[in-house]
Structure 1
Amino acid sequence: MPADPDVEDGHVRHPDHDDQRWALIADIVARVGDALAAGNWDTDEGYPGQGFVTVDGYPGDLTSTEQEIVSGWFGIAEPVRFDPWFEPLTSGRHRLWGTMPHFGTRLVPIKSDVLDYVTPESVPLLGKDWHQMYVANVEELDSLPWFDARDPLNVAFRSALVTAASRQFPSPQ
């Protein structure tokens, strides 16, 4: 994150930003992300495509606002979203600004925008050549010199894009 989003926008969006314990939020977000990366979640029978992750200490001593930040990071409505070939972030600038100094070398969970549309329900809306978008996404991803194609999560991300480019639906695992 190169700049404070409030400075970039010219106004303060969240006046309570400095009241949050961003180190604690980053720690819990990283642990949830690690659990997701390891496939350690429980599915919700009533809500296909959704699940639950349990991590020690959560919600613990988080304030209600801090709990909302962590839950929102992984929720349906406003997860932190980004695809590496697309600038700027789709969602999450303020949360990332608050947490980035506290992640250290740990993984920062980010949800892809484009992979949300690789569903049987979305295909009719995208048209008969829907897979071409994913062909282009793979090409764009492969052209990024900074993308670490050896990282296991990045390998899984790229694999999901390649699967979509071949007119298949990637597994949520």
Structure 2
Amino acid sequence: MMNSLEIANRIYSMERRLDSLYNQLEDSFSSPRYIRTAQNLRNLQARQLSILNGLIAELEEEQPPPPVNRYYAQHILQPGETLRVLALEYDTTVSQIRRLNPGLPDEPQAGQLVNLPIEIPRPPENSIRYVVKPGDTLFQIARRFGTDVSTLVRLNSIADPDIIFPGRILIIPNPV
């Protein structure tokens, strides 16, 4: 069962997806009367999003701190990425990301290191960290570092080996 914060984040995500439909609705009208109605709907939605943002911020403050002595996947924000984009990429919520990153600014900048709510096993001794670049695949990375895809998937708790995002920091075993 979802908690209040998860429900509020889910509603927020759904409302954000509706934003483009409201724009399309307004653009589809030629009558000023209907255009005003569509604009009123967009204004109401903007108010609702603002209220939801306030609620989410309050609920986030009540979240317990993350467990200590656990290891989490990390990501370096890329130009144009936001916490919402990151949450969508990694199938999580902004509030879960914020919980693992106390003190993270409201609008983090490219280059910011972000802990992801993806628990990984303790990295092996002498492992190296590799930042995924655009165009990288797990197969290419595994070959480059003398390991295999299944090891990378296991060490990094990767849900789908066919999907990796630029900026993700991968733990790679260092061949001795």
- Work out which of the two has the higher radius of gyration on C-alpha atoms and give 1 or 2: 2
TM-score by length of 2: 0.27
TM-score (norm 1): 0.27
Higher strand share: 2
